[in-house]
Chain A
Amino acid sequence: MRIRVRRTGGFAGIERSAEVEVSDREWESLATAVLDEGESDVRGVPDGFSYEITIDGVTVRCCDPRLSEAQRALVTRVLKEGA
């Protein structure tokens, strides 16, 4: 499973991207949760980060501060551990 996160916006307007290739269960359940939730409110707030999470070619968008728990856990982990 390939998961890519692209973060744009923010006070600095500096973009950041990271990608992981994973196969363990914990990652997969997190990714599945994000896909199942889908997109809800994608309107951002001034200076808030916007995220694009792409899981095996399917993209879900979300924005701070209205991330679900699964979205936040996934973007944090990919940006931390991904390359």
Chain B
Amino acid sequence: MTPQTPVFCSIVPPHLLEHLAHSSNPAVAEAARRTLIADASARTFRILPLPGTAPTLAPAEAGKPHRTIYDCERRTDLPGTKVRGEGDAATGDATVNRAYAGLGATFDLFLNAFGHNSIDGAGLPLLASVHYDEKYGNAFWNGEQMVFGDGDDEIFLDFTLPVDVIGHELAHGFTQHSANLEYFSQSGALNESVSDVFGSLVKQYALGQSAEAADWLIGEGLFHPNVEGTALRSMKAPGTAYDDDILGKDPQPGHMDDYVRTGRDNGGVHINSGIPNHAFYLAATELGGNSWERAGQIWYDVMTGGTLTPEARFSEFAAATVAAARARYGDGEEIQAVLKAWSAVGVPTD
């Protein structure tokens, strides 16, 4: 097998993954293979078929992403110059290759876990621009594509480093094409939370991690070494991801009692997302096993079910997860886990 593009280089270097893929411990080998596969093209996917652990693949024709990576060359004209298309060999630019692999990992989660062909369910081509602007410490979804900065060399490193950040941005496209939650106040915090949920699931699926094994962090490895913090957000323990002299403390609440009322950041969409984030974490860990299989499926069903309004508040979303759990799994442990999770974060479900 040829050396792989450094995909999750912030997590495990590829040479180590190659080694781990041949481990005598089946769980370790499987996780390493998953990570390598997530980085690879459809060709490699056939070379290394999964031993029946992932959900059944959709038909081959629907199972191919259509990725294009552009280089902004530190300017702000979008999309920039095309540097890697679908099926093209890796380039000499690790940022380009990480973006390409992250798009593939996101595509794989949506297709394999939910049977959703790309982020719109209809095979939408996935576009990403890297090296946006100079010392740009951000990444965003502009309604049509993903845009990544190289980091400001002070607080943030390259935004393509954590695969959950790539998944997060693409999930904004998923939301736009499904429930289309308005990017303001509670519906905006739900929009943000859904991106964190699916971003985290992209990482968990790629690494073959169960709910118990996952770190539930968003943007782990993105902070410059000078910053006191492990990640941007923690779904497991909102408010604990960083505590730094310059940045201050992670402001996320994990309960409605601490909901932050503010006009900034579109009504605190990146702050109050901690509440639904924590509810998802609680439901997923209560159910155990792979988070994308039941908790993820319920959240996916809510987003694609057509019952949410674009202005949905937390309670409307919570009630929709209860209905979705009942519709798919009946009156079993799934609905109980969802009810318990929302109750624990102080969001009513009726």
Chain A residues packing against B (C-beta within 8 Å): 8-15, 44-50, 64-65, 67, 72, 76
Asked if A12 meets B78 with Cβ closer than 8 Å, knowing A45-B143, A47-B141, A48-B142, the reply is: no
Q: Which of B117-167 contact A (CB under 8 A)?
A: 134, 137-143, 147, 155-156, 159, 165
Chain B residues packing against A (C-beta within 8 Å): 76, 78, 134, 137-143, 147, 155-156, 159, 165, 168-169, 172, 183, 191-192, 195, 219, 232, 247, 251, 264-266, 268-271
| B138: contacting residue among A47, A67, A72, A76, CB under 8 A | A47
Taking CB atoms, residues of chain B closer than 8 Å to A65 are 76, 78, 140, 142, 147
Min distance, Cβ B164 to any Cβ of chain A, angstroms: 11
Min distance, Cβ B118 to any Cβ of chain A, angstroms: 18
Taking CB atoms, residues of chain A closer than 8 Å to B195 are 46
Taking CB atoms, residues of chain B closer than 8 Å to A12 are 137-138, 156, 219, 232, 270
Taking CB atoms, residues of chain A closer than 8 Å to B232 are 11-12
| A47: contacting residue among B78, B156, B169, B251, CB under 8 A | B169
| 5 closest A-B pairs by CB | A13-B270, A47-B140, A46-B172, A48-B140, A10-B138
Given contact pairs A13-B269, A47-B141, enumerate 15 new A-B contacts (beta carbons under 8 Å): A9-B266, A9-B270, A10-B137, A11-B159, A12-B270, A14-B155, A45-B141, A45-B143, A46-B169, A46-B172, A46-B195, A48-B140, A65-B78, A65-B142, A67-B76
With A and B bound together, what is the CA distance between A45 and B138 in angstroms?
A: 12
Among residues of A, the one whose C-beta sits closest to the C-beta of B181 is: A46
Taking CB atoms, residues of chain B closer than 8 Å to A49 are 138, 140
Among residues of B, the one whose C-beta sits closest to the C-beta of A48 is: B140
Among residues of A, the one whose C-beta sits closest to the C-beta of B271 is: A13
With A and B bound together, what is the CA distance between A44 and B169 in angstroms?
A: 15
| A44: contacting residue among B219, B251, B266, B270, CB under 8 A | B266
Verify B183–A46 contact, CB threshold 8 A: yes
